[in-house]
Amino acid sequence: MEARTGLGVGPLAPAAADIDAAGRAIVHMSASLLLDYPAEGVFAERLDAVAAALADAPELPPAVSGPLEEFVAEARARGTRALAEHYVEVFDRRRRCCLYLSYYAVGDTRYRGAALLAFKQALAAAGYELDRDELPDYLPVVLELSARSGDEVADVLLSSHRDGLEVLRRALSDADSPYARLLDAVVATLPAVDAATAARVRALVAAGPPTETVGVTDALPFPTMPPAPPVGRPSSFIPQEQS
């Protein structure tokens, strides 16, 4: 029997797959590469790299390897140009298909700047600094951080924005987008949606991300943290200098 949320908008994401840290890193890096814009001359190489990584990891649970393999197959069948057009249609023109995680928590409100600063501080707490023209709450950035660092900071970012990930996953599924497979794989590496998160998902599905917040405190609706010493160097980041 299929588990239901009670939200009237589809099934819950499956419970966390039985996956170790190495397998989780493969899933998160694969999703990070494939959720970025499918540029000509680059995306085909990414598909090949992900396919090779999956072939080298037969121990991955079907709950994570299956959706990734399905995406690779469908992306190859569509071709890069058609997929790029679909990417723009879905991620640039639908509010509930936003790849910037803080958008689901604070929307385009006065708190967006503080939310982005919190993500930047979280990256610094893991010892990383962006080395590309991108916002720090961009899902592929957070997934790459998780894959390369294995730091609990990335776990905090993903778990504290679990409701946004679930809204994104369902919106992509409703749009019949192959990108829903990537979110299926990612959320299968996370704890199952609990009652409190389900309630937040219901609110987001009903009303969408916030447009403005009035009469509340300045506290952000997700954890923040101070910076910590650097610990490594992922490809989308540069290491921070010791003070």
Per-residue confidence (pLDDT) for residue 172, from 0 to 100: 96
Q: List the chain domain ranges.
A: 21-234
Cα four-point dihedral sign 134, 206, 105, 3: negative
Which residue in this structure is represented by tokens 């970025």? Answer: 36
Q: CA torsion sign, 108 to 109 to 115 to 120?
A: positive
Which regions of the chain are under pLDDT 70? 1-17, 109, 193-243
Determine the Cα–Cα distance for residues 163 and 204; give it in Å rounded to an integer. Answer: 8
**At 213, is the secondary structure helix, strand, or coil?**
coil
pLDDT tens digits, 77-134: 999 999 999 999 999 888 789 999 988 877 776 777 888 888 898 888 888 888 878 9
40: β partners: none
Residue 130, C-beta contacts closer than 8 angstroms, at least 6 positions apart: 120, 123, 136, 141, 236, 237, 238
